[in-house]
Structure 1
Amino acid sequence: MLRGEGVERLGDVAVLDLDRRSRTGIPEVVLAGPKHAGEVAEIAGALLERTGSACVSRMRARHRRAVEALAADRGARLLAYGRRSCRLLASGAADPPLQGLVGLLAAGTSDLEPLAEARMVCEAAGCATTTALDVGVAGLERLFAPLGAMLAAGADALVVAAGMDGALASVVAGLAGLPVIGLPVSTGYGAGGRGRAALLSMLQGCAPGLVVVNVDNGVGAGAAAALVARRRAGGPFIG
């Protein structure tokens, strides 16, 4: 249902979408990267006060310091996801009830930050997660045990992050009878660097059930996986 309620202007800094989680199932995420540290802290603090939680992505060192200071000042719990993403939970606030399981796989250690961003969104949306790292196609034997464990645990959707050739996403989609969200990562270098080869490889993949988000879009990958997982687990699309 479309409605204009739950919108609140925060000075000249932002317009808060306070009902986003109840409307879509996915909470608002503060993109830190291009913002001043004070702006990030102000927006995150307002979300924390109004909704009991806040998600922040693409933090740099100055943003992280500001968010850590905010958490200490408010007595909030800070949950770190890699070095660049975090969630804040107000004192006494509980995580949403878990619905669905998302498996997250990273081809290499260099692909972890966008995958951590996806994990943050999944957990903020109320999905359990399980993660496997460094399971890329250069040593394909590393993939089978963790992927098998995810399937045995009843995973509802998978997110695959890869930044060189992006081949892991197609391989996983060809092995697992689940929706697979391909997350190309900008860690690749050379002629197809900055995620270009990974993106095109995933888009060109012939394995059915693979869909692809833009380069480094961990928030989008996590949101898509969470919505699918919640629905498959019997939960509603909206929170």
Structure 2
Amino acid sequence: MLKLDDVCLYYGRVHALRGISLEVPEGRIVSLLGANGAGKSSTLKVISGLCAPQSGDVRLNGESVQGRSCGDLVKNGVIHCPEGRRVFPQFTVEENLRVGAYRRIGNKDVDEDMETVFGYFPRLKERMQQKAATLSGGEQQMLAIGRSLMGRPRLLLLDEPSLGIAPKLVMEIFEILKRINKAGTAILLVEQNAHMAIRISDYSYVLENGRIGLEGDSAEISQRPELKELYLGG
């Protein structure tokens, strides 16, 4: 479905990504792990069109998407749920969700998709007319994921969903991610919580200083001693 081939990215003189190659097959969960500053979020920004790489290629379903706008990628089912949730604080839960379907405003199936989101996150339905600023951190993360689902992603780029959330809610959100995946959405998951990410993913990559230092089936990679060394910057 998605393939990165030898992608390099610079921020000025800073070499953020150093020849990243990875794949996300149709219908799978792939995790992207690593310490802070390893290049995880930069990888997602390249895929979603927020950053243009200096070299390499990004292909979606066999076609290069280099130079295509973020809006065009959204239209083709690539949805980026960013780190820090980024909900609109003065909008209600319902308004935030409708923003996620901005390319389909006026389409009658938007309301049906909202009910699908409420099926995953019943708490959001209870708080439909509440402003996002009044929600807890975990509820805001649910809203951010729900807003992304309103765009009907074929590939969901999910950046640090457990950040700043109570452990009980983290478990709940990760269980919901498995349900979303089983419903047909592929997920590329960037996550500091390596244990949780590996547990729900099919395949894992570990970044170190902008390079892939380790990769493999998640069940197998969790047993390898190199994982701890790379993840802790060893």
Q: So what's the TM-score if we normalise by structure 2?
A: 0.34
Higher relative contact order (CA 8 A, sep 6+): 2
